[in-house]
Amino acid sequence: MYDAKTQPLASLRNIHKAYGNLKVLSGIDLDMSPGERVVVIGPSGGGKSTLLRIMMGLEQITEGSIEFEGQPYITALNGKTRIDANVRKKMGMVFQHYTLFPHLSILNNLMLAAVKTRGMARAEARDKAMQLLARLGLEDKAGAYPSHLSGGQKQRVAIARALMLDPQLMLFDEVTSALDPELVAEVEQVMLELAEQRLPMMIVTHDMWFARNIASRVIFCAGGVVVEDGPPEQVLGDPLNPRTREFIQRVFHIHG
């Protein structure tokens, strides 16, 4: 039985990932406890998306293993990746590019997986969807199609769609990067609210102010390894590693 007090929520061991000859991750180790909000930062192409996609079970790995709530989740064995489908159901993910299903109304976007994969009754799924939409201030959009929504609204719907399945860990991959600046806040606000409810999250973002606000822990990833790992004040404010320092300086310089 999983004990949230003593055991990590997720523990990644020695994760390696290569696309053909291109090594993207070379030995990631990470223990994440429940209630933690881990923000992953790092240079573009450093493997942040890959890490989240692996957590979601979207990518094979070349080496390593992941446990979730004390159960084996992903293991690499002789070049094959075994992913436990039941554990996978505990992850939710929101992507950078809007991935709503364009041919379905907002309500149906939310209901589809709940009804088809979790066997939820339609009426129940509809109620739950409407509640979620109301919470995010989108109840009047239930019948609309994704193309009628702004980018910020679409990302909020994408978050709601993931929440429909009651994930134990939410993965956010640069969810505000494709948004116009004035739409970023509404999405970040939703994520901050989820943080208040202590939903465990892994977040990739380039927005350092947001990172500081939401993170309970920040990880700097570069060259396929974890370079620095610590509380946000330290990693973002006074990094120990020179590579982190250089990256932070550059990013704050651009954004500041």
Partner 1 sequence: MWRGFEGIMKIDFSFLSKYHEALLMGLGTTLHLTVICFGFALVLGFALALLRGSKIAPVAWAATLYVEFFRGTPVLVQLFWIFYCLPIFLGTELSNFTSAVVCLSLYGGAIMSESFRSGLKSIGREQYDAAHALGLGPWTRTIYVLLPQAVLRAVPVLLSNGVGLFKESALISAVGMAELMFIGSTISNRTARPVEVFTVIALIYFLVAFPLTRLVAVLERRILRRLAI
Closest approach, Cβ 155 to ligand ADP, in A, equals 17
CA distance 57 to 79: 15
Q: Does 161 bind partner 1 (CB under 8 A)?
A: yes
DSSP state of 180: -
CA distance 145 to 101: 9
Cα torsion 123, 127, 133, 134 to 10°: value is 150
Q: Does 176 bind ligand ADP (CB under 6 A)?
A: no
Q: Does 48 bind ligand ADP (CB under 6 A)?
A: yes
- For 104, half-sphere exposure in the C-beta direction (CA atoms, 13 angstrom radius) is 15
Kind plus residue range of the DSSP H or E element containing 195: helix 181-196
Q: Give the x-and-dash track for 2-41 against Mg ion (CB under 5 A).
A: ----------------------------------------
Among 11, 42, 49, 191, binds Mg ion (CB under 5 A): 49
Instruction: Report residue 248 as tokens.
Output: 């932070």
Q: Which does 147 bind (CB under 5 to 8 A by kind): Mg ion, ligand ADP, partner 1, none?
A: partner 1
> In what side-by-side order are the strands of the sheet with 71-77?
22-32, 10-19, 63-68, 71-77, 80-83
Nearest to 51 by CA among 239, 211, 223: 223
Among 49, 109, 205, 244, binds ligand ADP (CB under 6 A): 49
Q: Does 155 bind ligand ADP (CB under 6 A)?
A: no
Q: Which does 19 bind (CB under 5 to 8 A by kind): Mg ion, partner 1, ligand ADP, none?
A: ligand ADP
Going by C-beta distance under 8 Å and a sequence separation of 6 or more, which residues neighbour residue 249? none
Stretch of 47-55, 118-126, 138-146, 244-252 contacting ligand ADP, by CB under 6 A? 47-55
Stretch of 21-29, 71-79, 146-154, 210-218 contacting partner 1, by CB under 8 A? 146-154
Among 42, 46, 64, 146, binds partner 1 (CB under 8 A): 146
Q: Does 243 bind partner 1 (CB under 8 A)?
A: no
Q: Which does 232 bind (CB under 5 to 8 A by kind): Mg ion, ligand ADP, partner 1, none?
A: none
CA distance 47 to 224: 6
Size of the residue set binding partner 1 (CB under 8 A): 30
Residues 52-111 that bind Mg ion (CB under 5 A): none
Q: Give the length of the chain.
A: 256
Instruction: Report residue 107 as tokens.
Output: 């309500």
Among 11, 38, 46, 244, binds ligand ADP (CB under 6 A): 46
Of the two residues 117 and 131, which places its CB atom closer to partner 1 in the complex?
117
Cα torsion 131, 135, 136, 138 to 10°: value is 50
Q: If DSSP codes are grouped into helix, strand and coil, which group holds residue 242? A: helix
Q: Which residues form the interface with ligand ADP (CB under 6 A)?
A: 19, 22, 24, 42, 44-50
